[in-house]
Amino acid sequence: MNELYRGGVEDKMVHRIDQKAFRREHRMELEGQGPVTEQLVVDFLNNEIPGLTARYSTRAEDHGIEIGGKEIDVVAYLEGKPAMAFQVTSQFQKGELARKRDHARDYPFVRLQELKNQDPAIPRVSLVLEALEVSNFAKNPNFAAHPELAIKILDRILLNLEFDLRKTANPIEQTAVKKLIPIFEETKRRFIH
């Protein structure tokens, strides 16, 4: 269901219809995955990424941009300092996804209140996970049993960090991102069998 689909126009239409039918059938199981998805990401960062610790965002950090918030869900720390901000979602409504994608593209770095004036902004990572993947993981919360999910998360993080690296001209931000990339690349190698 979540694999990359490459087919003709008719095949794509049938695939979309099947996806919609599946989501309707499993609606109760898949709704309300937001907090569970955020928990999955916090646990992944805390338990699978050496040297990182993660926390949920504060209420002010989680508020939408239209009321002055950063719209982030998770903050990761490296060596005791904020290193990354995550926007996590399992929603697949086209308008909502497009808005979040545009926001991440337009604001690839975030300044948290806890950062000092001399501290650089930290990279934003946007993670979109399938609600069904999150639901399946919750039944057996062990990344060794779900290496494909771990690899998907790591690929998405690396993609975001590479994007953030291209978007900034600030050498301090570039150095911070370059320090993070090898950490996630090494973790990804652990999950590839």
Is the domain of 81 the same as that of 156? Answer: yes
Mean pLDDT of the chain: 83
Angle at 32 between CA 112 and CA 106, to 5 degrees: 35
Q: In this structure, which amino acid lies at residue 92?
A: F
pLDDT at residue number 1: 43
Contact of 74 with 86, CB cutoff 8 Å: yes
- The model's pLDDT over 29-56, given as tens digits with 9 standing for 90+, comes to 444 456 888 999 999 999 999 999 999 9
Per-residue pLDDT band for 6 (boundaries 50, 70, 90) equals low
92 three-class SS: coil
Is the domain of 38 the same as that of 110? Answer: yes
Domain span including residue 21: 1-31
Is the domain of 81 the same as that of 18? Answer: no
- State how far the Cα of 120 lies from the Cα of 125, in Å rounded to an integer: 16
Quote the number of domains for the chain: 2
Confidence (pTM): 0.79
- State how far the Cα of 137 lies from the Cα of 112, in Å rounded to an integer: 30
pLDDT at residue number 17: 67
Is the domain of 187 the same as that of 118? Answer: yes
Is the domain of 89 the same as that of 182? Answer: yes
